[in-house]
């Protein structure tokens, strides 16, 4: 799905966040419950751990976004990397809670808010800088989720973008109006 053309940084950021969220969800749908918790090596994180970390980060960064430090005093970041939720449903409930905080914080903002100051770990950031920081952070982890899901589900993987060796056919379909641009 093509992103809508806009000149609003806030609206564009919201669509980028929604796009990344959908990408990760489409990847997670392709793995089994067991694969969500699979670890490739002792230093690696499972999809479930990455989701737990992202949800913890989202809760901390986006709760009272404009009025409190983005690193909440009750956040225990180190615990985000152990003992993920026990089930897919529980894991996805944390995922949804985190994303709801992102959208609840951003949706009421306007581009006039971009220069306002927020703090993260005691450091001042403009709202735009804080958003950029989180877009980059979430893109990194969603890339990890997609990589792990593709690796773990390789025997039945369905491409999340243009399938390998099908670019010319995809471009033909887009030009003919038979496929949407991604």
pLDDT of residue 177: 74
Tens-digit pLDDT profile for residues 77-92:
999 999 999 999 999 9
Asked whether residue 2 is assigned to any structural domain, the reply reads no
Residue 161 has pLDDT above 90, yes or no: no
Asked whether residue 142 is assigned to any structural domain, the reply reads yes
Residue 179 has pLDDT above 70, yes or no: no
Asked whether residue 181 is assigned to any structural domain, the reply reads no
pLDDT of residue 1: 46
Question: Does 91 or 180 have the greater pLDDT score?
Answer: 91
Asked whether residue 130 is assigned to any structural domain, the reply reads yes
Tens-digit pLDDT profile for residues 44-74:
999 999 999 999 999 999 999 999 999 999 9
19 lies in which domain range? Answer: 9-175
Q: Tell me if the pTM is above 0.85.
A: yes
What SS3 class is residue 108?
A: coil
Question: Does 167 or 1 have the greater pLDDT score?
Answer: 167
Asked whether residue 120 is assigned to any structural domain, the reply reads yes
Asked whether residue 129 is assigned to any structural domain, the reply reads yes
Asked whether residue 73 is assigned to any structural domain, the reply reads yes
Both structure tokens of 30:
């392709």
Q: Residue 85 CB: number of other CB atoms within 10 A?
A: 19
**How much is the mean pLDDT over the chain?**
92
CATH number of the domain encompassing residue 155: 1.20.120.450
Question: Does 3 or 12 have the greater pLDDT score?
Answer: 12
Asked whether residue 180 is assigned to any structural domain, the reply reads no
- Taking alpha carbons only, the member of 154, 165, 152 closest to residue 45 is 152
Using the structure block, give the residue that is written with the tokens 């905080």. Answer: 101
Please give the tally of structural domains in the chain: 1
């Amino acid at each position: 799905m093509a992103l809508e053309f806009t000149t609003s940084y806030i609206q564009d950021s919201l669509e980028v966040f929604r796009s990344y969220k959908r990408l990760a969800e489409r990847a997670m749908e392709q793995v089994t419950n067991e694969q969500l918790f699979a670890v490739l090596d002792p230093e690696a994180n499972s999809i479930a751990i990455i989701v737990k970390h992202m949800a913890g980060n989202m809760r901390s960064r986006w709760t009272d976004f404009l009025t409190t430090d983005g690193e909440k005093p009750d956040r225990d970041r180190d615990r985000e990397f152990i003992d993920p939720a026990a089930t897919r449903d529980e894991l996805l409930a944390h995922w949804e809670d985190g994303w709801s905080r992102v959208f609840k914080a951003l949706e009421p903002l306007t581009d006039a808010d971009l220069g306002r100051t927020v703090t993260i770990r005691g450091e001042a950031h403009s709202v735009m800088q804080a958003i950029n920081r989180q877009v980059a952070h979430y893109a990194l982890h969603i890339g990890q989720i997609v990589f792990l899901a593709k690796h773990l589900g390789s025997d039945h993987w369905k491409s999340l973008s243009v399938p390998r060796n099908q670019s010319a056919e995809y471009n033909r379909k887009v030009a003919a109006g038979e496929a949407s641009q991604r």
